[in-house]
Amino acid sequence: MTARGGSPGTVARLGARLAAAEARLVGAELRRTARWAAAAAALAAAAAVVGIAAGACLVAAVVLGLATAMPAWLAALITGTGLLVLAGFLAILAREAAKDAAGALRQTTDRAREEGRWMGRLISSNGK
């Protein structure tokens, strides 16, 4: 049976079923997105812990290496400045990645709203 030839009650039931199916789809998409975000966060945390340990060793190596050619305080100052510049660059990259994630969530919710409006128009136009 098509929605065009159905009674208003049939159209309303079909619309309700379609709305429920869309709600389940949006929920599944949001759960999938949340799972990927959680996995990414866990991997980032693990990488950060290992990176901190490796980074500490490398910073010590750079400072000790530079200290053979200059005073130790100057070697530490140069190394620290370089690390601050790198930290700023990484913070900019993190901000852009967060914007991308927010955009994907916004697209999903916008699509769900638009489909809800479309179903409302469909049901109201078939009830007349």
| pLDDT exceeds cutoff 70 at 3 | no
- What's the pLDDT score for residue 127? 54
Q: What is the mean pLDDT of the chain?
A: 85
Rg for the chain, CA atoms, rounded: 28
Return the number of other C-beta atoms located less than 10 Å from residue 123's C-beta. Answer: 18
Percentage of residues of the chain with pLDDT beyond 70: 93
CA-wise closest residue to 18 among 126, 123, 105, 110: 123
Instruction: Spell out the residues 6+ positions from residue 22 whose beta carbon is closer than 8 angstroms to its own.
Output: 112, 115, 116, 119
pLDDT digits (tens, 9 = 90+) for 72-121: 999 999 999 999 999 999 999 988 888 877 777 788 888 888 888 887 78
| pLDDT exceeds cutoff 70 at 128 | no
Residue pair 59/83 in contact (Cβ under 8 Å)? The answer is yes
| Residue of 3 and 14 predicted with greater confidence | 14
Task: Count CA within 13 A, CB hemisphere, residue 63.
Answer: 15
Burial class (CB in 10 A: 0-12, 13-18, 19+), 78: middle
Q: What does the pLDDT average to over 44-60?
A: 93
3-state DSSP assignment of residue 71: coil
| pLDDT exceeds cutoff 70 at 26 | yes
